[in-house]
Chain A
Amino acid sequence: MKNYLFELKEGLIIAFRAIRSNKIRAALTTLGIVIGVTSVVLMATAIRGIDTSFKEGISSLGADVLYIDKWAWFSNEDWWKIRKRKNIRIEEYEEFKNLIKLPKAVAPTLWIINKVKRDDKNIENVFVTGTTSDYLSTTNFSFSAGRFFTDVESRGSRYTAVLGSEIAESLFPRESAIDREIKVGDVTYRVIGVLEKQGSFILGNFNPDKQVYVPIGTIFKHFISDRIRSITINVRAQNPDMVEATKEEATAVMRKVRGLEFGEENDFSVNQQEGLTTNYDQTVGVISIAGYFITGLSLFVGAIGIMNIMFVSVKERTKEIGIRKAIGAKRRTILAQFLIESSLICLLGGLIGLLLAVLLSQLMAQFLPTTIQVDIVMIAIGISLLTGIIAGFAPAYTASKLDPVEALRYE
């Protein structure tokens, strides 16, 4: 045991000395590992960032919310058949709401994309969702100022608006938006509430932070009719365990509302975030496999470089190996010596790569909610060491097998 420790220490001394006496070569060799580790770490961090923001986004949608829609989010059904479905109308929603028992809340939604402005500030392509006061109970929204519209306001189609945090920030930087006026297209609304930041990057424009909520009646009146575009009915179950039962009830009630005969196919879809998650997992799974493969490839190229330089190193130090063997170094000692050297080179490369990745991830943090986490750091260090051991093995093994007599004669 003692021997191993001394040999390890000797191995480290030799390795440091070898690297120091060949600084430029070591630096060039390490470059491959640096690039490899940097890209692997950034890749992992990016994927994690996308993951986090998606999961955040999806949870703001709520695991317990069903979306009754003309369209199926994910379906193998014929698109043309779906297209021919009747629109879901607001009257159907009213009937549905009266019949259904299980849900915690149901609300109709219909969104448009329009310009939102306030005085000289305006934002193009904002998602403006028309809904009712019930909508609030289908979400987990909290407010940084004001409130959602009331039943009276939504029934009366009052020109009241609730702003997502980013919209409020853009239109009313450093001032309160409450009771101020904004325009959606040419229609003037009064701001009655501002949402707290939900922070869900992946949902893009569906992100509540980037939306404006108004009573659905005002949408029908000024922008689009439910004759032309189907509304969506958001149904929130009492709790996640009730989702399946709620889905069954909602389907049955909706069939009744739509006047479907027994045996007729549903002419609507009950969508769920779960489908989104599965779909996301598949997509991101493929992307990350491709990403890890490509970044892994750069690490592989780096490893080849290390292997190459270690072979050169063994060749150059044949005589030294002979001397060490003559005075009692065993095979494993020589093997360990070169493995330590290649691991050390890779470890140095890995650490530099990590440092670079940390710096670059600061840039990435601008558009992805992510930071390099401890486990990724550990994995990166582990990968560097492993690369060193794998890349160094063949050269080290060659060195350990050298015949001492031959090695001593080598000039």
Chain B
Amino acid sequence: MTIINIEHIAKIYQVGSEQVHALRDVTLKIDKNEYVAIMGPSGSGKSTLMNMLGCLDTPTHGLYQFNGKNVSQMNDNDLATIRNKEIGFVFQTFNLLPRSDALHNVELPLIYAGVSSSERKDRAYEALKSVGLADRVHHKPNELSGGQKQRVAIARALVTKPSLILADEPTGNLDSKTGEEIMELFNNIYEQGNTIILVTHEEYIAEHAVRIIRIKDGLIEKDEAVKRRYIPNSVSKNINTVGTV
């Protein structure tokens, strides 16, 4: 089943009198339960593509169908609904609400989805448990390590059971050991049947995915399956026991 269908998408930014072609002509399809890495050097248009895929932004030209729905023409409200229900974001800088504890951060998408308080708490707790933070639910972000913060962010992305998880350089702010643990977590999430798109500029991180799309200057340069996929040597397949950092 196709989750993402993009045809001839372009994104042009107007900077003063100059036009910046962040994306030129991108066409791609991503199916359910794929694990895709988007790779490219800095400034190649990765984040722009990811914002587009995540319905944070709309293309200047081209067609974008998400789960069969044409989102390229949607208004802000409809886009917000899609982001809320269908997409889970994981950012390089975690982007947690600093004044809220882990539980409330994870609850937040459910608040906007109109889920009742008790169900919200249950689901948020389950999500935190699944990333190994059952004992950190009432910690504020500044009381958590980088790895733990990213786990909270992943729990927040998972809690709405979205059709797509989008991660923009999720290991960019972590040391390599912690980064590896996060990649392990992504692998488990993938193996549970989720669809993941990972944006990175590191070859090594990209090789955790199954498919790599390389972009350069706003164009797809290469779209290929990973030959020697790096499968993290999980301590266990059970993500509930992924070691806390």
User: Does any Cβ of A come within 8 Å of B80's Cβ?
Assistant: yes
By a CB distance below 8 angstroms, the chain B residues around A2 are 114, 116
By a CB distance below 8 angstroms, the chain A residues around B115 are 6
Cβ contact within 8 Å between B114 and A3: yes
Cβ contact within 8 Å between A326 and B99: no
Cβ contact within 8 Å between A326 and B114: no
Interface residue from B56, B77, B85, B109 paired with A331 (Cβ < 8 Å) = B77
For residue A18, which residue of chain B has the nearest CB?
Answer: B99
Cβ contact within 8 Å between B85 and A408: no
Q: For the A-B complex with A320-B97, A330-B76, A408-B91 known, give 7 more contacts whose Cβ atoms are closer than 8 Å.
A: A6-B114, A6-B116, A326-B56, A326-B83, A327-B108, A333-B112, A404-B56
Cβ contact within 8 Å between B91 and A329: no
User: Does any Cβ of B come within 8 Å of A94's Cβ?
Assistant: no
User: Does any Cβ of A come within 8 Å of B149's Cβ?
Assistant: no
Cβ contact within 8 Å between A328 and B81: yes
Cβ contact within 8 Å between B76 and A331: yes
Could you write out 20 A-B pairs with CB less than 8 Å apart? A6-B111, A6-B115, A6-B116, A7-B112, A10-B108, A325-B56, A325-B80, A326-B83, A326-B89, A327-B83, A327-B84, A329-B80, A331-B76, A331-B77, A331-B80, A333-B112, A403-B57, A404-B56, A408-B56, A408-B95
Interface residue from A10, A323, A403 paired with B111 (Cβ < 8 Å) = A10
Whole-angstrom CA separation of A23 from B116 in the bound complex: 31
User: Does any Cβ of A come within 8 Å of B156's Cβ?
Assistant: yes
Whole-angstrom CA separation of A320 from B80 in the bound complex: 15
By a CB distance below 8 angstroms, the chain B residues around A333 are 112
Cβ contact within 8 Å between A330 and B80: yes
Cβ contact within 8 Å between B112 and A328: yes
CB proximity to B under 8 Å, residues A307-329: 319-320, 322-329
Whole-angstrom CA separation of A255 from B85 in the bound complex: 92
By a CB distance below 8 angstroms, the chain A residues around B108 are 10, 324, 327
Cβ contact within 8 Å between B99 and A17: yes
- Give residues in A with beta carbon < 8 Å to B: 2-3, 6-7, 10, 17, 21, 319-320, 322-331, 333, 403-405, 408
- Report the minimum CB–CB distance from A335 to chain B (whole Å): 12
Interface residue from B51, B85, B113 paired with A405 (Cβ < 8 Å) = B51
Interface SS majority for chain A = helix
- Give residues in B with beta carbon < 8 Å to A: 51, 54, 56-57, 76-77, 80-81, 83-85, 89, 91, 95-97, 99, 108-109, 111-117, 156
For residue A401, which residue of chain B has the nearest CB?
Answer: B76
A-B interface, 6 closest residue pairs, ranked by CB to CB distance from nearest: A328-B84, A3-B114, A328-B112, A330-B80, A327-B109, A2-B114
- Report the minimum CB–CB distance from B158 to chain A (whole Å): 12
By a CB distance below 8 angstroms, the chain B residues around A408 are 56, 91, 95
For residue A325, which residue of chain B has the nearest CB?
Answer: B80
Cβ contact within 8 Å between B112 and A326: no
Whole-angstrom CA separation of A405 from B13 in the bound complex: 13
Cβ contact within 8 Å between A405 and B56: yes
- Report the minimum CB–CB distance from B55 to chain A (whole Å): 9
**Given known contacts A3-B114, A7-B112, A405-B51, A330 and B89 CB-to-CB distance under 8 angstroms:** no
By a CB distance below 8 angstroms, the chain B residues around A331 are 76-77, 80
By a CB distance below 8 angstroms, the chain A residues around B51 are 405
For residue B168, which residue of chain A has the nearest CB?
Answer: A408
For residue B94, which residue of chain A has the nearest CB?
Answer: A323
Whole-angstrom CA separation of A325 from B84 in the bound complex: 9
By a CB distance below 8 angstroms, the chain A residues around B80 are 325, 328-331
Interface residue from B77, B89, B114 paired with A327 (Cβ < 8 Å) = B89
By a CB distance below 8 angstroms, the chain B residues around A404 are 56-57
By a CB distance below 8 angstroms, the chain A residues around B96 are 323
By a CB distance below 8 angstroms, the chain A residues around B116 are 2, 6
Cβ contact within 8 Å between B97 and A323: yes
Whole-angstrom CA separation of A10 from B89 in the bound complex: 21
Whole-angstrom CA separation of A323 from B112 in the bound complex: 12
By a CB distance below 8 angstroms, the chain A residues around B99 are 17, 21
For residue A328, which residue of chain B has the nearest CB?
Answer: B84
Whole-angstrom CA separation of A333 from B114 in the bound complex: 12
- Report the minimum CB–CB distance from A17 to chain B (whole Å): 5
Whole-angstrom CA separation of A329 from B115 in the bound complex: 14
By a CB distance below 8 angstroms, the chain A residues around B97 are 320, 323-324
- Report the minimum CB–CB distance from A153 to chain B (whole Å): 83
By a CB distance below 8 angstroms, the chain A residues around B113 are 3, 328
Cβ contact within 8 Å between B85 and A328: yes
Cβ contact within 8 Å between B83 and A328: yes
- Report the minimum CB–CB distance from A54 to chain B (whole Å): 54
Interface residue from B54, B77, B95 paired with A330 (Cβ < 8 Å) = B77
For residue A20, which residue of chain B has the nearest CB?
Answer: B99
By a CB distance below 8 angstroms, the chain A residues around B54 are 326
By a CB distance below 8 angstroms, the chain B residues around A3 are 112-114
By a CB distance below 8 angstroms, the chain B residues around A405 are 51, 56-57
- Report the minimum CB–CB distance from B232 to chain A (whole Å): 27
By a CB distance below 8 angstroms, the chain A residues around B156 are 327
For residue A327, which residue of chain B has the nearest CB?
Answer: B109
Whole-angstrom CA separation of A403 from B56 in the bound complex: 8
Whole-angstrom CA separation of A176 from B83 in the bound complex: 86
Chain B CB within 10 A, most for which of A7, A17, A319, A323? A323
For residue A326, which residue of chain B has the nearest CB?
Answer: B89
For residue B114, which residue of chain A has the nearest CB?
Answer: A3
For residue B95, which residue of chain A has the nearest CB?
Answer: A323
- Report the minimum CB–CB distance from A186 to chain B (whole Å): 82
Cβ contact within 8 Å between B83 and A7: no
Whole-angstrom CA separation of A319 from B95 in the bound complex: 8
- Report the minimum CB–CB distance from B200 to chain A (whole Å): 18
- Report the minimum CB–CB distance from A22 to chain B (whole Å): 11
Whole-angstrom CA separation of A324 from B107 in the bound complex: 12
By a CB distance below 8 angstroms, the chain B residues around A10 are 108, 111
By a CB distance below 8 angstroms, the chain B residues around A329 are 80, 112
Whole-angstrom CA separation of A322 from B80 in the bound complex: 12
